[in-house]
Structure 1
Amino acid sequence: MSVIADPDEDLVRRVAQGEPAAIQAMVARKLPRMLALAQRMLGDPSEAEDVAQEAMLRAWKQAPKWRPGKAKFDTWLHRVALNLCYDRLRRRREVPTETPPDRPDEGPAPDAGLLSAELGLRVDAALKRLPDRQREAIVLCHYQELTNIEAADLMSVSVEALESLLSRGRRALRQSLADLSTKSAGAERG
């Protein structure tokens, strides 16, 4: 078994010792990434915040027990956040609702960035339609910027399997968003 160098090792050790500055540094370093991961996986800002906060709470509680070597702390934290996301996704499937909840419009002002917002919504919707494992692979590699090796390790699959998931996910996204390329081509000609 090879020992993996962990850039967070010192920070986790200091968090375990209860050092307030280390706890703040960990939150500042990790919370935005966990929030982005949960947002992409769940598509719900409120649930994403809950997942990110729960993942950070578990990181803080786990810090005294953390033993570096087998996997990086960041990889472990991503796995925790993904598991929390999948727990919520399972509960969504188990609890049918008669009517959707009322939600405030979180979009941009009517006169600002309408096309960009529409594109973002289309991409998010297409991402949500992907099978869970394909969405997970794309989110980890493209949005969380993990390497293929890190993402494959996190997903407990080979790099080849990850690349297959990425390829199928990208192909499905291209098909889902194909009309956008024809619109932009028409706009460039017009």
Structure 2
Amino acid sequence: MTQSQIDPAAEAALLKAYAAGDASAARTLASSYTPLVFAHAVRMLNDRAEAEDVAQEAMLRLWRQAPAWDAQGGALVRTWLYRVTANLCIDRLRKARPNELPEDFDLADDRPGIEAQLQTKARHMALDEALMQLPDRQRQAVVLRHIDGLGNTEIAQIMDIGPRAVESLTARGKRALTALLSGQRKDLGYTDDTVQTSV
């Protein structure tokens, strides 16, 4: 869903219908936004179980907010949810032990050869481990911009900073990721001079 496809009035109507007990509106909201929230939480936390908890909490907060959504001043549901999700993730990261990683990493199974699967998994894990070494705000900006594909204006709203600050955070984050991953280029199967920092 791109910014041009988002209609704040339609979203507000959907939330109002949900608040009035419309089960169809609830299903539409859940199917539209839960996958986005979960994917963002996974990238922020590098932990699928924790991300599921965050996604549930973020959606629960949306349900609670639904009756009063007209008072939100035209905010997009997606923008609001990304902000809530990021805040929940940052709270959990601050409470967690440093450098805590999941025991395994679950990848979608599209059945390439076993070597390609292992290499893809290694690249995902290397990127996620590198992301977890960035400061919280840099990681959030990089994930929103280069993984979730949001524009600087929406990221600025989510992070409550200016667009120039977004550009600065993402640039610093990408430089840090490149530095963190550069020593692993050969092990990760990259043969060119550029370490890829996206998946």
- TM beyond 0.5: yes
1:185 alignment counterpart: 191
2:25 is the alignment partner of 1:19: no
Q: Percent identity?
A: 42
> Does the 8 Å contact 1:122/1:177 carry over to 2?
yes
SS in 2 for 1:66: helix
Unaligned runs of 5+ in 1: none
Quote the offset at 1:16 in angstroms: 1.6
Quote the offset at 1:184 in angstroms: 2.2
SS in 2 for 1:177: helix
SS in 2 for 1:176: helix
2:11 is the alignment partner of 1:8: yes
Q: TM-score, normalised by structure 2?
A: 0.79
2:96 is the alignment partner of 1:85: no
**Alignment CA distance shift 1:105-1:34 (3 Å):** closer
Name the amino acid aligned to 2:176.
Answer: A
Q: Deviations over 1:19-65 (max 9, x none)?
A: 10110110000000100111111111110000001111111111011
2:53 is the alignment partner of 1:50: yes
1:1-190 equivalences under 5 Å are: 6=8, 8-67=11-70, 68-93=72-97, 103=103, 106=106, 111=114, 113-181=117-185, 183-185=189-191
CA distance in 2 between partners of 1:144 and 1:111 (Å):
28
**Alignment CA distance shift 1:83-1:145 (3 Å):** same
Write out the 4+ residue segments of structure 1 that deviate beyond 6 Å after TM superposition: 107-110
* Larger-gyration structure (1/2): 1
Name the amino acid aligned to 1:11.
Answer: L
Name the amino acid aligned to 1:49.
Answer: E
> Does the 8 Å contact 1:15/1:23 carry over to 2?
yes
Name the amino acid aligned to 2:39.
Answer: A
Q: TM-score, normalised by structure 1?
A: 0.83
Q: Deviations over 1:135-159 (max 9, x none)?
A: 0001111222221000011111110
CA distance in 2 between partners of 1:156 and 1:86 (Å):
15
Quote the offset at 1:86 in angstroms: 1.4
Unaligned runs of 5+ in 2: 1-5, 193-199
